[in-house]
Amino acid sequence: MMSQANKTDVLIAEELLLQANNLSHKFDYELFRDINLSLYKKESIAIIGTSGSGKSTFLNILSSLLKPTSGNVVFKSKDMYSIKQNELLRIRRDDFGIIFQAHYLFRGFSAIENLEIATLLSGEKIDEKLLKALNIDYVINQGVGELSGGQQQRLSIARVLTKKPKIIFADEPTGNLDKDTANIVMNTLFNYIENNNAGLILVTHENELAMKCNKVYKLEDLKLQEIK
Ligand SMILES: Nc1ncnc2c1ncn2[C@@H]1O[C@H](COP(=O)(O)OP(=O)(O)OP(=O)(O)O)[C@@H](O)[C@H]1O
């Protein structure tokens, strides 16, 4: 029979979405050393730190885009940087939602066509409620080039959520937005992870925004310091 301690281990493992172990990275100089991080279902984590401290680099490593100098990132019991490239691409396509400030929308297409592309890849449906919540439901027939910067940003967030990722990685997702719109976007992301058993890792320089997350870490002196 399984002991109580083992049962607890199994339970924690089932709730775990992503685990980073002993991550170190350097470019010309060392950015961080031996960092550990765990993300659980329904959890939001914010990473703060001064400009150039390595926040975006850390997020790129967690989100399958950059192999760390050393250490590993485990998703679904697999070390992402030891598996085959096509398996890694599948994880990125099916399970990860990556939101960057520079949004990669298809400019020759309308807003709705950009969402349809996401549904084709994932087999999911466009969620009208999501478009309403993000206040872009009334512009979906317009060309991407006709949308404002903030509308494009929200459209790219809608496109990421449309494919129903297990983990959302967001680098300054509200960077271009006014406060009210930023709140709408953050509430949409929080509701999404709650309703879909997903997780969120957010990089931001705004402390107020960071503190809305369950956990906050500051990247400083090569380490992640726990703030909340
Ligand atoms: N591909 C790369 N090659 C070489 N150096 C890089 C590369 N990407 C980032 N760096 C360097 O690593 C350092 C950290 O960059 P990063 O973008 O991770 O910081 P950040 O904390 O996100 O900064 P900011 O808040 O200003 O966006 C910077 O000095 C940057 O020049």
Q: Which protein residue's CA is at the shortest distance from atom 12 of ligand 1?
A: 54
118 within domain boundaries: yes
71 within domain boundaries: yes
Find the CATH number of the domain harbouring 62. Answer: 3.40.50.300
Work out the pLDDT band at 117, boundaries 50, 70, 90.
confident
Q: Which domain holds residue 112?
A: 37-226
7 within domain boundaries: no
Q: Which protein residue's CA is at the shortest distance from atom 6 of ligand 1?
A: 27
16 within domain boundaries: no
Does ipTM surpass 0.85 in this model?
yes
Per residue in 128-151, pLDDT tens?
999 999 999 999 999 999 998 889
107 within domain boundaries: yes
Per residue in 195-207, pLDDT tens?
999 999 999 988 9
Task: Count how many domains the chain has.
Answer: 1
Pairing of strands 16-26, 30-40: antiparallel
- Residues enclosing ligand 1, CB less than 6 A? 27, 31, 49, 51-57, 205
What's the one-letter identity of residue 91?
I
Pocket test for ligand 1, best of 56, 62, 63, 221 (most atoms within 8 A of CB): 56
182 within domain boundaries: yes
- Is the separation of the CB atoms in 101 and 152 below 8 Å? no
- pLDDT for 8: 62
Expressed in angstroms and rounded, the spacing between residue 122 Cα and the centre of ligand 1 is 32
- What burial letters (b/e) apply to 84-98, b meaning 16+ CB within 10 Å? eeeebeebbeebbbb
27 within domain boundaries: no
Q: In this structure, how many other beta carbons lie within 10 angstroms of the beta carbon of residue 70?
A: 12
Q: Alpha-carbon distance 172 to 31, whole Å? A: 19
Per residue in 18-73, pLDDT tens?
999 999 999 989 999 999 999 999 999 999 999 889 999 999 999 999 999 999 99
Pocket test for ligand 1, best of 55, 65, 203, 220 (most atoms within 8 A of CB): 55
Q: Which atom of ligand 1 is nearest to the CA of 49?
A: 21
Q: Which atom of ligand 1 is nearest to the CA of 203?
A: 22
Q: Which protein residue's CA is at the shortest distance from atom 18 of ligand 1?
A: 54
81 within domain boundaries: yes
Q: Alpha-carbon distance 59 to 3, whole Å? A: 37
